[in-house]
Chain A
Amino acid sequence: MKISKFCLAAAAMSLSATAFAGGSHGGGHGGGFGEAGKAEDVSRSIQVEMFDNYFEPEAIEVSQGETVRFVIENNGSLVHEFNIGTPEMHEAHQKEMMMMVEHGVIQGGKLNEDMMNMDMGNGHTMKHDDPNSVLLEPGQKKEIIWTFSAKTSMEFACNVPGHYQSGMYGDVNFGGGADTHASAH
Chain B
Amino acid sequence: MTKSLVAGALGLLMPALALAGEYNISVDRVMIDTGDFVKEGIGYNGSSPGPVLRFKEGEDVTINVTNNLDEATSIHWHGLILPFDQDGVPGISFAGIPAGETFTYTFPVVQSGTYWFHSHSGFQEPNGAYGSIVIEPKGREPFRYDREYVVQLTDKHPHDAARVMRNLKMMPDYYNRKQQTVGDFFSDVSEHGFMNALSDRMAWGDMRMMKADVEDVQGFTGLINGKGPDQNWTGLFEPGERIRLRFINSSAMAYFDVRIPGLDMTVVQADGNNVQPVTVDEFRIGVAETYDVIVRPKTEEAFTIFAESMGRSGYARATLAPREGMEGPIPSLRDAPLLTMADMGGMHGMDHGSMDMGEDDMAGMDHSSMADDGMKSMGDNQMDHSSMAGMDHGSMMMSGNGAEDPFYAKGSGLVPTAANGGKFLSYADLKAQKPLYEDREPTREIELRLTGNMERYSWSINGVKYEDAEAIKLQYGERVRFKFVNETMMTHPMHLHGMWSILDTGAGKWNPVKHTISVQPGTTVFMETEVDAPGQWAFHCHLSYHAASGMFRKVVVEGGPDQGSNAGVKQEQVGGDV
Residue pairs across A and B with CB atoms within 8 Å: the count is: 73
B71: interface (CB < 8 Å): no
In the complex, are the beta carbons of B146 and A6 less than 8 A apart?
A: yes
- Which residues of chain A in 1-26 are interfacial with respect to chain B, using CB atoms and an 8 Å cutoff? 1-4, 6-7, 9-10, 13, 15
Which of A2, A15, A165 gathers the greatest number of chain B CB atoms within 10 Å? Answer: A165
Chain B 223-262 per-residue mask, 1 if CB under 8 angstroms from chain A, else 0 = 0000000000000000111100000000000000000000
**Set of chain B residues within 8 Å of A145, measured between Cβ atoms:** none
Question: A2-B15, A52-B433 given as contacts; is B276 within 8 A of A10 (CB)?
Answer: no
Which of A10, A52, A165 has a CB less than 8 Å from the CB of B146? Answer: A10
In the complex, are the beta carbons of A166 and B434 less than 8 A apart?
A: no
In the complex, are the beta carbons of A161 and B278 less than 8 A apart?
A: yes
**Set of chain A residues within 8 Å of B294, measured between Cβ atoms:** 165-167
Number of interface residues of A (CB under 8 A): 24
Which of A2, A77, A166 has a CB less than 8 Å from the CB of B277? Answer: A166
Question: A1-B140, A52-B434, A108-B431 given as contacts; is B146 within 8 A of A166 (CB)?
Answer: no
Closest chain A CB from B264 CB (angstroms):
7
Which of A4, A15, A54 has a CB less than 8 Å from the CB of B142? Answer: A54
Which of B13, B264, B277, B278 has a CB less than 8 Å from the CB of A3? Answer: B13
- Which residues of chain B in 1-33 are interfacial with respect to chain A, using CB atoms and an 8 Å cutoff? 13, 15
Residue of B nearest to A3 (CB): B13
A163: interface (CB < 8 Å): yes
Chain A 154-182 per-residue mask, 1 if CB under 8 angstroms from chain B, else 0 = 00000001110111100000000000000
**Set of chain B residues within 8 Å of A9, measured between Cβ atoms:** 144
**Set of chain B residues within 8 Å of A10, measured between Cβ atoms:** 146, 240-242
Closest chain B CB from A13 CB (angstroms):
8
Complex Cα spacing A166 to B267, Å = 8
A70: interface (CB < 8 Å): no
**Set of chain B residues within 8 Å of A53, measured between Cβ atoms:** 142-143, 276-277, 433
Chain B 407-439 per-residue mask, 1 if CB under 8 angstroms from chain A, else 0 = 000000000000000000000000101100000
The interface residues of chain B, by DSSP majority, are classed as loop
B510: interface (CB < 8 Å): yes
B513: interface (CB < 8 Å): no
Chain B 133-160 per-residue mask, 1 if CB under 8 angstroms from chain A, else 0 = 0000001111111111000000000000
Q: A54-B140, A167-B242 are known; give 16 further A-B pairs, CB within 8 A.
A: A3-B15, A3-B148, A6-B242, A7-B147, A10-B240, A52-B142, A52-B434, A53-B143, A53-B276, A54-B144, A161-B278, A165-B266, A165-B277, A166-B143, A166-B294, A167-B143
Q: Offer 30 A-B interface pairs, CB within 8 angstroms, sorted by A.
A: A1-B144, A3-B13, A3-B148, A4-B13, A4-B15, A6-B144, A6-B145, A9-B144, A10-B241, A10-B242, A15-B239, A15-B298, A51-B142, A52-B433, A53-B433, A54-B143, A54-B144, A77-B434, A78-B276, A108-B431, A161-B278, A161-B279, A162-B278, A165-B277, A165-B294, A165-B296, A166-B266, A166-B294, A167-B294, A168-B143
- A residues contacting B by CB (< 8 A) are 1-4, 6-7, 9-10, 13, 15, 51-54, 77-78, 108, 161-163, 165-168
